[in-house]
């Protein structure tokens, strides 16, 4: 605020003398410093000529904190209905400190007003300082509401008649309400039964809870207002919750809740044991399958009739496809779920690699979502896809030594669709049924409750497998 503006406002709206205005201007020179030091908005209000109102002739917003006001107020009139402290000081010359007020922008402020006196000691204006305390008021209101709720709850519990329990008997948790010294003021029927397990007789109201359950001593002594911790006592496992009730930042009482989680922890332990056992079974199945595959390879190396060799290769591929299911299970975090995409990718890459050894240049690609399926379904899917890809390698590229196979995954609502597409010679419906396709049809219809179709494409063949993920039948 420039002094020239202050002087103009005073001459235009007030009866202040030249000496009075000079005094006002001297204060204005230090107004910004006052605002910064006090972290508050500072104003100078002077009475108008008619004496019924006051006018803001100067203001300074602090640079050290956020300003209370978003818009400037210099040149605006102040009315007694909204600024009673300002007019009290103008009339009486007495200061007003830390008076709570509401600004025109709806913010709650802590307002202090001191008189500004002229040469003959009469009041010529007021120096006003305002600090935003909106958040402080909100916190105080929340604390007051919390204190009232705490006081009411504490009163109910401490004045509780023994024959009218506030905590219903159906609640399984053992609930204790303690005073500031940790002595029992109330416990529900479940809590009574828990103490009776200690073979204690007589009344325990007024006794220390730690006396009955020493293991919770550290929990009660901790300074935290809320603690949840597991403890072992009475040959059981309990989840213990400590909740302190505060009133005016002082503890007025403490809730201690015991929840018996022994059965839950026992079931978790059993699940872990079962998971370990299932993991070991999967490991042994995989090893057994690899052993069988090794025996077949050994027999093939020792020599076979040429007409039998293809059958050994097909059997070997089927066994390694099943083994792949267990390899993926063992490499993952789940003991019963398999990443279908990863499984098919492993099987397909192995079959195409074997084809390269027969001087066939075949590429294979995969696209679609990574879906998890149960291991029992995965075994059947592994055999089905093994036969379809093997069928491509064996028949689609029988006379062609280079080609492409695509494997597409489509998860639609509650079922999975897998397509194996090649650009080979093309399927002929008149072709003699093979053992591989018979295996596919049997697995799809009986093990997966799904549907299978194979058809000739413009270039090559499209084989489609469709099966439910949850067991219900699907329709193409």
* pLDDT tens over the chain, length 476 residues: 456 689 899 999 999 999 999 999 999 999 999 999 999 999 999 999 887 889 999 999 999 888 888 888 899 898 888 888 999 999 999 999 888 877 766 778 889 999 999 888 899 999 999 988 877 777 776 666 555 555 555 555 555 444 444 444 446 788 888 888 888 888 888 888 888 876 666 667 788 899 889 999 999 888 888 889 999 988 899 999 998 887 666 777 888 999 999 888 888 887 776 766 666 666 677 677 777 777 777 777 777 777 776 777 777 777 777 777 667 666 665 556 788 888 888 888 888 877 776 677 888 899 988 888 887 788 888 888 888 888 888 788 877 778 899 999 888 878 889 999 998 888 777 666 677 788 888 888 888 888 988 888 888 899 999 988 875 554 54
Instruction: Kindly state whether residues 413 and 279 are assigned to the same domain.
Output: yes
Beta bridge partners of 259: 239
Instruction: Kindly state whether residues 217 and 273 are assigned to the same domain.
Output: no
Instruction: Kindly state whether residues 269 and 206 are assigned to the same domain.
Output: no
- Whole-model pTM: value is 0.43
- State phi, psi for 307 to the nearest 5 degrees: -70, -15
Calpha distance 454→422 (Å, rounded): 12
Calpha distance 45→14 (Å, rounded): 11
Residue 474 in any domain: the answer is no
Instruction: Kindly state whether residues 358 and 424 are assigned to the same domain.
Output: yes
Nearest CA to 116 among 52, 63, 39, 58?
58
Q: Given 221, 245, 260, which residue is the final one in a domain?
A: 260
CA geometry: angle 141, 147, 150, nearest 5 deg: 145
Question: How many residues are there in the chain?
Answer: 476
* Helices marked H in 177-305: 189-196, 209-212, 217-221, 262-301
Nearest CA to 345 among 326, 370, 374?
370
Residue 55 in any domain: the answer is yes
**Measuring CA to CA, how many Å separate 8 from each of 13, 20, 75, 206, 377?**
9, 13, 10, 76, 91
- Give the domain range for residue 10: 3-132
Q: Given 219, 245, 260, which residue is the final one in a domain?
A: 260
Instruction: Kindly state whether residues 247 and 279 are assigned to the same domain.
Output: no
- State phi, psi for 45 to the nearest 5 degrees: -110, 140
Residue 45 is part of a domain; what is its CATH number? 3.30.450.280
Q: Are 99 and 114 in contact (CB under 8 A)?
A: no
Q: Given 234, 260, 286, which residue is the final one in a domain?
A: 260
Calpha distance 1→31 (Å, rounded): 9
Calpha distance 363→206 (Å, rounded): 82
Residue 351 in any domain: the answer is yes
Calpha distance 57→210 (Å, rounded): 68
Residue 106 in any domain: the answer is yes
Instruction: Kindly state whether residues 277 and 358 are assigned to the same domain.
Output: yes
Instruction: Kindly state whether residues 107 and 177 are assigned to the same domain.
Output: no
Residue 208 in any domain: the answer is yes
Helix (H) or strand (E) holding 411: strand 402-412
Instruction: Kindly state whether residues 281 and 340 are assigned to the same domain.
Output: yes
Query: Count of domains in the chain?
Result: 3
- State phi, psi for 113 to the nearest 5 degrees: -130, 130
Residue 476 in any domain: the answer is no
Instruction: Kindly state whether residues 206 and 316 are assigned to the same domain.
Output: no
**Measuring CA to CA, how many Å separate 69 from each of 39, 44, 59, 102, 108?**
13, 15, 11, 12, 11
Instruction: Kindly state whether residues 321 and 391 are assigned to the same domain.
Output: yes
Calpha distance 170→272 (Å, rounded): 32
Residue 436 is part of a domain; what is its CATH number? 3.30.565.10
Residue 200 is part of a domain; what is its CATH number? 3.30.450.20
Residue 147 in any domain: the answer is yes
Residue 236 in any domain: the answer is yes
**Measuring CA to CA, how many Å separate 136 from each of 69, 107, 143?**
17, 11, 11
Instruction: Kindly state whether residues 240 and 378 are assigned to the same domain.
Output: no
């Amino acid at each position: 605020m420039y002094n020239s503006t202050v002087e103009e406002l005073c001459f235009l709206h007030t009866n202040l003398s030249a000496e009075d205005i000079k005094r006002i201007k001297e204060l204005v020179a230090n107004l910004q410093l006052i605002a910064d030091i006090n972290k508050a908005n500072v104003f100078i209000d002077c009475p108008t000529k008619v004496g019924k109102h006051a006018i803001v002739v100067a203001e300074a917003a602090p640079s050290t904190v956020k300003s209370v006001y978003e818009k400037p107020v210099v040149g605006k009139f102040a009315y007694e209905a909204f600024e009673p402290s300002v007019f009290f000081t103008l009339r009486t010359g007495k200061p007003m400190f830390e008076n709570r007020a509401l600004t025109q922008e709806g913010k709650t402020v802590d307002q202090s007003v001191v008189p500004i006196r002229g040469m003959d000691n009469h009041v010529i204006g007021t120096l006003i300082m305002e600090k935003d305390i909106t958040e402080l008021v909100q916190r105080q209101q929340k604390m007051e509401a919390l204190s009232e709720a705490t006081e009411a709850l504490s009163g109910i519990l401490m004045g509780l008649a023994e024959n009218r329990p506030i905590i219903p008997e159906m609640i399984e948790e053992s609930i204790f309400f303690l005073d500031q010294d940790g002595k029992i003021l109330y416990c529900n029927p479940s809590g009574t039964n828990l103490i009776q397990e200690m073979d204690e007789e007589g009344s325990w109201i007024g006794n220390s809870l730690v006396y009955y359950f020493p293991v919770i001593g550290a929990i009660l002594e901790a300074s935290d207002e809320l603690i949840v911790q597991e403890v072992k006592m009475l040959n059981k496992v309990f989840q213990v919750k400590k909740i302190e009730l505060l009133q005016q930042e002082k503890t007025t009482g403490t809730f201690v809740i015991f929840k018996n989680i022994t059965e839950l922890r026992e079931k978790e332990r059993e699940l872990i044991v079962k998971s370990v056992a299932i993991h070991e079974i999967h490991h042994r199945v995989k090893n057994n399958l690899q052993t069988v595959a090794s025996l077949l390879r050994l027999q093939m190396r020792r020599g076979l009739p040429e007409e039998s060799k293809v059958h050994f290769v097909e059997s070997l591929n089927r066994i390694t496809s099943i083994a792949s299911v267990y390899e993926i299970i063992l490499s993952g975090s789940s003991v019963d779920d398999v990443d279908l995409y990863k499984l098919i990718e492993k099987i397909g890459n192995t079959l195409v690699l074997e084809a390269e050894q027969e001087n066939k240049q075949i590429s294979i690609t995969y696209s679609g979502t990574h879906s998890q399926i149960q291991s029992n379904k995965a075994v059947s899917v592994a055999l089905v896809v093994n036969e379809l890809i093997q069928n491509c390698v064996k028949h689609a590229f029988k006379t062609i030594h280079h080609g492409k196979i695509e494997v597409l995954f489509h998860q639609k609502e509650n079922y999975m669709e897998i397509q194996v597409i090649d650009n080979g010679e093309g399927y002929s419906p008149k072709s003699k049924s093979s053992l591989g396709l018979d295996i596919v049809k049997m697995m799809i219809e009986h093990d997966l409750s799904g549907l299978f179709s194979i058809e000739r494409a413009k270039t090559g063949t499209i084989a489609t497998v469709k099966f439910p993920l949850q067991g219900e039948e699907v329709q193409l």
